[in-house]
Amino acid sequence: MSLELLGITVLWIFLFGYLIVASIDFGAGFFSAYSDFSGRKHLIHTIIQRYLSPVWEVTNVFLVFFFVGIIGFFPKTAYYFGSALLIPASISIILLAIRGAYYAFGTYGMKNNRILTFLYGMTGILIPASLTTVLTISEGGFISVKNNEVQLLLGELLKSPYSWSVVLLSIVSVLFISASFLTWYAYKAHDFQAHALLRKYTLAWSFPSILAAITTFYSLKLHNGVHFEAMMDQAWMFLISIVFFMTAVYFFYKKKRYGMAFISVVLQYGFAFFAYGSSHYPYLLYPYLTIYDGFTNQTMAIALVVVFILGLLILVPSLYLVLKLFLFNKKYVQGER
């Protein structure tokens, strides 16, 4: 395996980790706010806060690793994406700041402030929508490069059916992943009222997630036929993804084996995510930039690969420790400590 391929593979693993962990976090925030305004706060707010308290600061570690790595391995991405993503990235930073303000003020000061709660809930779906702009732009057709100047074609981005289909997919996926995990978590906590409500949310958002994926497939075919054809070569991975989706729904609906159901959801998105990534190879930004254009020097690449692999070896056990001490510690989950 070449260093270029190894580098992008390591980064893709970090990005997938962020996809799962952040989806649970963002969706939990939305459900928490929604429960407040729908009069169901007493049912699920406690279980969500018990989950968020120990993990909310961990979520962005994956994202930081990814962005540091993408600039380290592929310095040209800063040139191409830096200018193009100025507006979307600024929006994401503002939304993350609002989210951080909720955690700070909601814990130490302005408790039960409905305006802050509303903003917190909205960031749960707006942050994923803004961050997916990166993947949308990477498909090409949304930037122009003239006289060594990169310009975002904002009008094309806002008018594109593909762009909006990706936004829709990101929102429903966040809610489905989050609800599926929280259902499992509530069941482990023996909070059966919260569990029953969250299970309904999971089933409610399950089929919209597949419909959104199909819509995105069709929109991509119209927008970038080259990538769509490459994705068809990875059809077996998408079929496995659908099998895991059906398995997850079956476990949620019939068997009520929520741990296996959530693992199936992770595998569903894992196969789809890596199929999408491998079919996009070798492009980082179609058609301007591939993983072989402007790759860092060999010494730097080897150092980065070693550091990132060591980072994974440290991060994964750390997450396991968080899970063991807080998320799946019987006394903590059930509110005994």
Mean pLDDT for back-to-back runs of 10 residues, the chain (337 residues): 84 89 88 81 73 68 83 86 78 83 66 75 88 89 82 87 94 94 86 87 93 93 91 93 94 84 95 94 88 84 85 80 71 59
Distance CA 54, CA 52 (A): 6
At residue 254, φ and ψ (nearest 5 deg) are -105, -55
Q: Are 43 and 195 in contact (CB under 8 A)?
A: no
Query: What are the structure tokens assigned to 171, written together?
Result: 């929102």
At residue 291, φ and ψ (nearest 5 deg) are -70, -15
Domain count, the chain: 1
Q: Are 17 and 62 in contact (CB under 8 A)?
A: yes
Please give the pLDDT value at position 112: 65
C-beta atoms surrounding 282 within 10 Å: 12
Please give the pLDDT value at position 4: 85
At residue 200, φ and ψ (nearest 5 deg) are -60, -40
What's the pTM value of the predicted model, to 2 decimals? 0.90
**CA angle centred on 91, ends 20 and 45, rounded to 5°:** 50
Distance CA 86, CA 106 (A): 30
Please give the pLDDT value at position 278: 92
Classify 121 as helix, strand or coil. Answer: helix
Please give the pLDDT value at position 270: 95
Which is it for strands 149-152 and 283-285: parallel, antiparallel or unpaired?
unpaired
